[in-house]
Structure 1
């Protein structure tokens, strides 16, 4: 009885072996696709990296001459550099780097420029809390 069953299976495999192989390949591809789909849902999300250049450093890197004349951007940068490395407001109590958000909000007429931190602190100003590196 077992021998007859074995012979039937052997004959069926000879007749339709290619069809069974094709079915097995389709099943394995479907299983692998499902597994990869589930893995991608669980996989940690990657976040895009954003590289920003501050206005001050962008101005410094673009300080070039255009057609023999100094560009407006370069002359503005040179004027800022002549003032100093630290800026404070006449009405405020904190000093900033020129590219910090607090310094960019100040009106030009209210700005006081300092060459060093010590000079700003001697005048009674303190480092700004929202300006990294002070």
Structure 2
């Protein structure tokens, strides 16, 4: 065998191995069932999304849930209100850094 034939033989062997491996992989994937991911909402999430304002048990301001101040409140300290009036009656005032309050 000549030296210039060696690269061609190696390319042929590698190509055959790659083709066999890809064919084998496609057969393995063919038999697997489709993966379906479903999510379930918990009651806590439903309560939070139906409430429009949030405050901290230890604070004095109320926020929209999307405000940066609301994201700093620990979940265990969050108090939810449906209206601004409810929050005001509970002794909270609007946060000045939360637009629209």
CA contact (8 A) 2:48 2:80 kept: no
**Structure 2: 5+ residue runs without aligned partners?**
1-35
**Structure 1: 5+ residue runs without aligned partners?**
1-66
Q: What TM-score do the two structures reach when normalised by structure 1?
A: 0.43
Q: Distance in 2 between matches of 1:116 and 1:86?
A: 7
Change (3 A) 1:79 1:69: farther
- Which of these two proteins has the greater Rg computed from alpha carbons? 1
1:69: which partner in 2? 38
Q: 1:80, CA displacement in angstroms?
A: 2.4
* C-alpha RMSD over aligned residues: 2.2
Aligned residues: 65
Q: 1:69, CA displacement in angstroms?
A: 1.8
1:80: which partner in 2? 48
Q: Distance in 2 between matches of 1:118 and 1:103?
A: 18
CA displacement 1:55-112 (0-9 Å, x = unmatched): xxxxxxxxxxxx36226xxx37545214x11000011000000010100000000000
Greater percentage in helix: 1
- Map 1:1-134 → 2, pairs under 5 A: 67=36, 69-70=38-39, 75=41, 78-82=46-50, 84-134=51-101
Q: What TM-score do the two structures reach when normalised by structure 2?
A: 0.57
1:12: which partner in 2? none
